[in-house]
A and B are shown apart, each in its own frame.
Chain A
Amino acid sequence: DIQMTQSPSTLSASVGDRVTITCRASQSISTWLAWYQQKPGKAPKLLIYKASSLESGVPSRFSGSGSGTEFTLTINSLQPDDFATYYCQQYNSYPWTFGQGTKVEIK
């Protein structure tokens, strides 16, 4: 299985901050990576696919980059609605696997 490791596990930030979350794969996954946002009691919501493609309807302050084994999700000018947990997911090879999550908290 491909292991996905996110850092940090928890991040404290303020409204207006620029936030960066890192996701590392245990082997190369090209750009077969997605990012999701999950709020308590809700299903995950797709933000980014193919490492850097923004899903329709997702605000442009979200962006993704990377290839191979290292990827980042950046949120420019953090908004109150962005406080949530974020997961990366690889779809290079079965079984599809997720990172352990990064919780973005209010500072």
Chain B
Amino acid sequence: QVQLQESGPGLVKPSGTLSLTCGVSGGSISSSNWWSWVRQPPGKGLEWIGEIYLSGSTNYNPSLKSRVTISVDKSKNQFSLKVTSVTAADTAVYYCARACIGGSCYFDYWGQGTLVTVSS
């Protein structure tokens, strides 16, 4: 059973950088899956941020692409998210998830989510 766990600061100052890590257990990050980040502002819907493959290939949502970097650390079985120049609009619960099972990119395993608040 694959488990994902997000970690990182819960408070980030405006104009700063949001940094989160997703640890993967019960499975290898080097499996044939993409690993994604999805966010959900309080009381709102879900927004896909981007994804990474074990090779380091990435795909990003164009709405965030200029500010987002996703990276992978295979030795630690984890992947990470950085969002630069954050504003209050980036306040959200951030989820990591496993995607692209056999080429079909739905999300079958999710972390429990971590709330990141952008505030001074």
Contact = CB atoms under 8 A, between A and B. Distances in A.
**Chain A contact surface mostly:** loop
Interface of B: 36, 45-48, 59-63, 95, 97, 99, 104-108, 110-113
B106 A46 contact: yes
Given A95-B61, A95-B63, A44 B46 contact: yes
Contact of A43 (B60, B61, B111): B111
**Chain B contact surface mostly:** strand
Contacts of A43: 95, 97, 110-113
Contacts, number: 55
B65 to A, nearest CB: 9
Contacts of A99: 45
Nearest to B62: A95
B45 A89 contact: no
Interface of A: 1, 32, 34, 36, 42-46, 49-50, 55, 87, 89, 91, 94-101
Contacts of A87: 45-46
